[in-house]
Structures are given as structure tokens and as C-alpha cells.
Amino acid sequence: MNSRRAQADVLLPRLARTLYAVLVWACLSQGVESAEARIAVAANFRNTALAIAEALQRASPHRYEIIPGSTGKLASQILNGAPYDIFMAADRDRPQQLVDRGVAVAGSQQIYAVGELGLWWPGVSGTPALGALANLKPRSVCIANPAFAPYGEAAWRSLARAEIDSAWREGILRVDNINLVTGFVAQGHVSAGFVARSSLISGMRNGSVRVNESEVLWLAGDAALDQMLVLLMRGENNPAAQFWIDQMQTPSVRELIRRDGYRFPGEETDA
């Protein structure tokens, strides 16, 4: 984890310069007209989205507003008419549901990142183990609420596979999103929590989190989360929204996403 942070400190200025040059060229070559777009973003991707928005705004006439929240709550807001142009979820299911309900543009879905889930247990003796959580009081273990948060759903599936008693699982502390889990563990409010790699990297970058790699058990299988975005009907003819989507697959933006702890489909984890 410390090596990741050092690499990020070196790469960030270089990535920013490269991204700026590429985007300036793109805007000048296309004669882009200014527009504004509102991007609803899964909480774990908030800081990355803000960094992308800053870069796009420096290099184009467009302006972006980032609205973070749990994936489930954002999807509910969209279904109830919230004025968003793009939805960046932490799963595949909810963007597809919005397409099926006619509020998102069919064919606009794309996987923009693959997130990683881990069990962070500071001070544990040896490598953290899922089964050993049963030795703790349920309220001392924290997850994102599975009803709203895909990272919480993945954590819940992992606990079920570990054959931890269902009554114990029901007592776990649930919070609104994965970033809050990281904060609860970092501040000592709970003994352990299921966190996103991106949240740990973000916390280490801003100094709010200190973590030893040996304290984290990175989970495999369906604990890897395909994060999908979709263009909403409101943004279908919005050039700022289309520009955002077009830039998500460029090498410079992908490197910025990778720097923040994500990978892409087909890539192996380096945990």
C-alpha cells in the first residue's frame, strides 16, 4: 500500500500535464461549445470524479457538478426525477435497471472501473480472516448498507460464504456508503470493516488514514465490483455529458482512475 502511495505522488503531476494536453487538443479540434452536466457518482468514486472534472474543466469550456452518494439511493433519486445527466454506479445492475425503465439511454452503458473490496482489521494478530470476525461483537464490525451499496452487498456475500452465523451478521453496524466505513475504522469507532481499496488510497493521500498492508485481507471473486456508468435521458443531447463519457476511455483518464486504486476488466489484481 505504501508503494502505491509513493507511485501516486510521482505520477500525479505527470498525469495531470498529459491529461491537460490531450484534452486541450480534443476540444480545439472539435470546436466544442460550452455546457454544464450533473454527474451522480457512487461514493467510492467521488474523489476520482472530482479530479476528472477538474481536468476536463481546465481543458474545455464545460462545467461539471459531482453529486456523490450510495448507488441505490442515487438510482432511486433518478427514478424520481432527479436532474442528473450521467449516473456512475458501483455495480452493473442499477444502470441496466434505469435503461429498462426508460430513464437512461440504451447502449450507453460502459464499465469505467473495477473496484476492490477488502477486510481492514487494524491491530489484528496475523493476517485478517473472515471467520475470525465471529470472535468480535457484531457492532464492532462495519459494512456499507447492502440495501443501497454494492460494496456492502459484496461484503455480505463474503460473510455468508464464511459461514458466519446469520444472527451475528444481522447485528453488524451498517452505514450509508463505503467511505464512511473507512472513516469508522480509521477513527477507532469499530474494530474492523469492509473497505474499498480506493477509499484507503484516498485516505492515505489526504492524511486521514494510516494503514499497514498486513492489516488488510483483499477479497477475490465477486468481491471485485464492475462499476458501470450510463447516460441518462436528460443528458442525451448535452455536449458536456457526451464529452465526459468520451473521455472516460482515454489513456490519460484511465491512468488517473488506476492511480486511485481501480483496475479495468481483464486486468489482474496486484493485491
pLDDT confidence band for 14 (50 / 70 / 90) = low
pLDDT confidence band for 30 (50 / 70 / 90) = low
Res 144: pLDDT? 97
Q: Which residue has the higher pLDDT, 271 or 243?
A: 243
Q: Rounded to an integer, what distance in angstroms lies between the CA atom of residue 117 and that of residue 150?
A: 10
Res 10: pLDDT? 47
What confidence tens digit (pLDDT) does each residue in 113-157 have? 999 999 999 999 888 999 999 999 999 999 999 999 999 999 999
What's the burial of 29, exposed, middle or buried (CB within 10 Å: 0-12/13-18/19+)? exposed
Cα–Cα separations (whole angstroms), residue 238 to 38, 64, 96, 189: 10, 12, 21, 44
C-alpha cell at 253: 483518464
Q: Which residue has the higher pLDDT, 3 or 116?
A: 116
Question: Amino acid identity of 97?
Answer: Q
pLDDT confidence band for 191 (50 / 70 / 90) = very high
Instruction: Flag the least confident range among 30-44, 109-123, 157-171, 240-254.
Output: 30-44
Closest CA relative to residue 248, chosen from 267, 229, 233, 222: 229
Percent of residues in the chain assigned helix, strand, coil, to nearest 5: 50, 20, 30
Question: Running DSSP on this structure, what letter comes out for residue 237?
Answer: T
**Mean pLDDT, rounded, for 174-181:** 96
Res 8: pLDDT? 47
Q: Which residues pair with 69 in a beta bridge?
A: 42
What's the burial of 97, exposed, middle or buried (CB within 10 Å: 0-12/13-18/19+)? middle
Closest CA relative to residue 190, chosen from 144, 130, 137, 118: 137
pLDDT confidence band for 69 (50 / 70 / 90) = very high
Closest CA relative to residue 198, chosen from 222, 225, 175: 225
Res 25: pLDDT? 45
Res 19: pLDDT? 54
Q: Rounded to an integer, what distance in angstroms lies between the CA atom of residue 95 and that of residue 59?
A: 28
User: Has residue 13 got a pLDDT over 70?
Assistant: no
Res 203: pLDDT? 93
Res 220: pLDDT? 80
What confidence tens digit (pLDDT) does each residue in 232-257 have? 999 999 999 999 999 999 999 999 99
Res 222: pLDDT? 66
- The average confidence (pLDDT) of the chain is 89
Q: Rounded to an integer, what distance in angstroms lies between the CA atom of residue 87 and that of residue 51?
A: 17
User: Has residue 47 got a pLDDT over 90?
Assistant: yes
User: Has residue 90 got a pLDDT over 60?
Assistant: yes
pLDDT confidence band for 259 (50 / 70 / 90) = very high
